[in-house]
Chain A
Amino acid sequence: MRIVAENLSYVYSEKSKSLAVQALSGVSVTVESGEFFGIVGKTGSGKSTFVQHLNGLIKVGKDKGKLTVGDFDLTDKRCDYRALRSRVGMVFQYPEYQLFAETVREDVAFGLKNFMPDLGENDMEERIKTALELVGLDYEKIKDKSPFELSGGQKRRVAIAGVIVTRPEILVLDEPAAGLDPKGKREFIALLKRLHEKFVKTVIIVSHDMNLISENCDRAAVFSGGRIVAVGTPKEIFTDNEDILSDGLDLPLTAYVTKRLKEQGIDVNNDLTEEGFISAVALKYGGGK
């Protein structure tokens, strides 16, 4: 499913003039099916507001632009939000706080029962099993445990299983790695890549972590003050783009080192992934591996 936003705007508390906040103003962007797409920007730049539009949690206002997700036209009043939400999965910040059921199995089944109430018992079990195993948990061991007796990392995995269990085509994650230790973070990103390769077509990830973006995303958009100020491959965004720095965001480490080297007259042209950077340096200095 392709996402096309055209001139999308949103104002919080529009009715009261003193409290109104323009969260989005004229955002236009296209996310192709199959992309690993990043969204960066500082707090209050409108990125969360934008992604909440994608599954209709925030509805497109009248005369506030256009938004289509696959065949769903979100400006249309008759848009089937339930069907849309089953195709666009959304994982919020600290998703473990949404757990509520008595057992892990029940919690993962929640979305499935809501979206596909007619599913047979066997199919349901099969899907729950697949989802839990995809996020790296042992189905047999964990299914009857209470979600509240799990560790933080496990809780987060269960919460994500609860979202991907309906097999969405697009998975949106808002700061999914927040609060994880470095090892947890690495494992988590590996999990996302696995999901993207095998299970969900499009992954959209909102993050402050520029290294995560440059390392994994095909393309990314930079939000600032409710607008998109840059969109493209990590290389395009993080090279010669001083306004990103001036907006209080960091460059990814690879981009920073490449830039400093260039200032010293050493040109290592690379795609800003760790591997790309290392092989560019290796190539330049004739070492190879």
Chain B
Amino acid sequence: MKDVTFGQYYPSHSFVHKMDPRVKILAAIAYIVAVFLVQSYHFVGFAACLLFVLITTAAAKVPFFRVLSSIKAILFFVFLSAVLQLFFHKGGTPLWEGGFITDEGLLSAGFIVARIFLVVLGASLLTLTTSPVELADGIESLLTPLKWIKFPVHEFALIMSIALRFIPTLLDETDRIVKAQKARGADFESGNVFKRAKALIPVLIPLLISSFRRADELADAMDARCYAGSKHRTKYKRMVPTYRDLIGVLVMAALITGVVLINTMLPF
């Protein structure tokens, strides 16, 4: 249960790690836009995106298998979309006499798979190089304009960082409770779906109760230190864009331009 790579920070002191989180979040969005801009069957555009991922991974000094392992979590989803595309794509010529799998179906399945893989790779690069705290800070800063419509931006960011902070704690707690119930003969591995779902009750209820207890304790601890929300709060770590961020912006602009150019220039 502890091998959840999607959303796990990989600490390092690389170029990418030192970038402003706001710029990285925007760059991730720009990257996703670039992936979606790639028009049907222009796999050259995907190659450009993949090249970008590879270069960024190298610049971030993150082992490439760490980036790749984020795909594990969505393999089933990818497989399902590919199969659906294969079987339900209309048009194109069948691959064999009387078969219902067409060449276009195959192409569009490959297209979908490539698109999902690239999006997930890029998104996991963001979370691998940006700590949860930085991410929350970045999102808070990016959402600041929403304060004009009275949206509680700071509180929203706080909720996010607390949720992120408690993921490892909850995983540990789950592990403990699962062991305790296993010692009392609980069986989580056999039986049908309903039986297994029912077997989870002795884990979920204690987990829920302890989460409430933790929330209470945290609220008390924050109260004790006179926490009062966003008013007059300053930051210990200020986000200041540097030359790195300028380079990041330029690279992203180049990527999007490149993809658009490939779309228009390459005949297909």
Interface residues of A (CB under 8 A from B): 13, 52, 55, 57, 82, 85-86, 89-90, 92, 95, 97-101, 110-111, 114-115, 148, 162-163, 166
Contact = CB atoms under 8 A, between A and B. Distances in A.
A55 B206 contact: no
Interface of B: 2, 176-177, 179-187, 201-203, 205-206, 209-210
8 contacts: A90-B180, A90-B183, A97-B210, A100-B201, A100-B206, A101-B202, A163-B184, A166-B185
B65 to A, nearest CB: 10
A10 B4 CA distance: 22
Contact of B205 (A86, A92, A100, A115): A100
B183 A110 contact: no
Q: Tell me the dominant secondary structure on chain B's binding face.
A: helix
A167 to B, nearest CB: 13
Nearest to A159: B180
Q: Tell me the dominant secondary structure on chain A's binding face.
A: helix
A163 B186 contact: no
B239 to A, nearest CB: 29
A4 B202 CA distance: 32
A99 B183 contact: no
Contacts of B181: 98, 110
A269 to B, nearest CB: 41
A98 B185 contact: no
Given A89-B183, A95-B180, A162-B184, 11 more contacts: A82-B185, A85-B182, A92-B180, A97-B177, A97-B206, A97-B209, A99-B206, A100-B201, A110-B181, A110-B185, A110-B186
Contact of A114 (B177, B184, B206): B184
A186 B182 CA distance: 29
B184 A92 contact: no
Contacts of A92: 176, 179-180, 183
Contacts of A163: 183-184
